[in-house]
Amino acid sequence: MVRAIDLSFPIGGNVSSMLETFTHKDSDYSKVFTSFSIDPLFTHAVNNFSMQKITLPSHTPYTAHLDAPYHELQNGKTVDQMPVDKFLGDAVVLDARSRSGRGVTLECVRKQLDEIQENDAVLLRTDWDKKYDSPEYFEGSPFISMELAQVLVDKKARCVGIDFPIPEDTERRKRNEPDAEKPVIHYLLLGNGVYIIESMANLHKISEKRPFLITLPLNIVGADGFPVRAVAVEGLKAK
């Protein structure tokens, strides 16, 4: 039997409450929380039908969203310039729960690397999404190591999906490392045609090692990313 697993969080009342738990409330980035709204254009009470105006940032850290190359690269592709077949196909789930520090490193998935095939969506499961409603979700979250990102590029992955908010080591800033502001993992992945799906939910609910994955954004001309309804489909392959 075919089974669909929803890998996106619902977007709703939780968005404003997430700003409460976001530890850098005063930063410019808090706009991603305050710029979500849903307002009536027509209502049942007045017009006998409903139509709404929905406002969203192109990157929604509170649910699964696509980073198109243009997000970080001035000459990178926008969503409409990416072929639609990029957004669906085989995926492989790598279990990264054994990580010892914050980093999802080559070491913690080394034994599973052979399972990555060309054009796969590589889903890195850390179970960090279980902290979704806590302040910790954005603070001290996992990141992808440079070495692992390079292997995913070398293996010609189609995309990388993560169940945490951002693939960068955001603590580098606190340690005052040189170029700490530079999103080096984004540059490496997006610069080599590997797009990123951030803030995915429920990777732990996937039971197949290689499910079919759908992560379709709306085809908005010039968009640097877009929320996606990410779905893993199991039971498609003959046993």
Q: Which residues bind Zn ion (CB under 5 A)?
A: 67
Q: Which is closer to Zn ion, CB of 160 or CB of 212?
A: 160
Q: How far is the CB of 48 from Zn ion (least distance, A)?
A: 42
Q: Which is closer to Zn ion, CB of 155 or CB of 187?
A: 187
Vertex 88 angle, CA 4 and 6, to 5°? 25
Q: Which is closer to Zn ion, CB of 211 or CB of 225?
A: 225
Query: Using an 8 Å Cβ cutoff, are 201 and 63 in contact?
Result: yes
Q: How far is the CB of 167 from Zn ion (least distance, A)?
A: 7
The pairing of strands 121-125 and 88-95 is: parallel
Q: How far is the CB of 183 from Zn ion (least distance, A)?
A: 7
Q: What is the DSSP string of 146-198?
A: HHHHHHHHHTT-SEEEESSS-SS-GGGTTTT-TTTTS-HHHHHHHTTT-EEEE
Query: Using an 8 Å Cβ cutoff, are 23 and 29 in contact?
Result: no
Residue nearest to Zn ion (CB): 67
d(CA 24, CA 43) in angstroms, rounded, equals 37
Q: Which is closer to Zn ion, CB of 58 or CB of 212?
A: 58
Q: Which is closer to Zn ion, CB of 96 or CB of 212?
A: 96
CB neighbours of 217 closer than 8 A, spacing ≥ 6?
65, 66, 68, 79, 87, 223, 225, 226, 227, 228
Q: How far is the CB of 225 from Zn ion (least distance, A)?
A: 8
Token look-up 């969080």 returns: 9
d(CA 73, CA 80) in angstroms, rounded, equals 15
Q: Which is closer to Zn ion, CB of 67 or CB of 120?
A: 67
Q: How far is the CB of 141 from Zn ion (least distance, A)?
A: 12
Q: How far is the CB of 59 from Zn ion (least distance, A)?
A: 7
Q: How far is the CB of 235 from Zn ion (least distance, A)?
A: 31
Query: Quick one: tokens of 235?
Result: 């039971």
Residue 88 β-bridge partners: 214
Q: Which is closer to Zn ion, CB of 200 or CB of 212?
A: 200
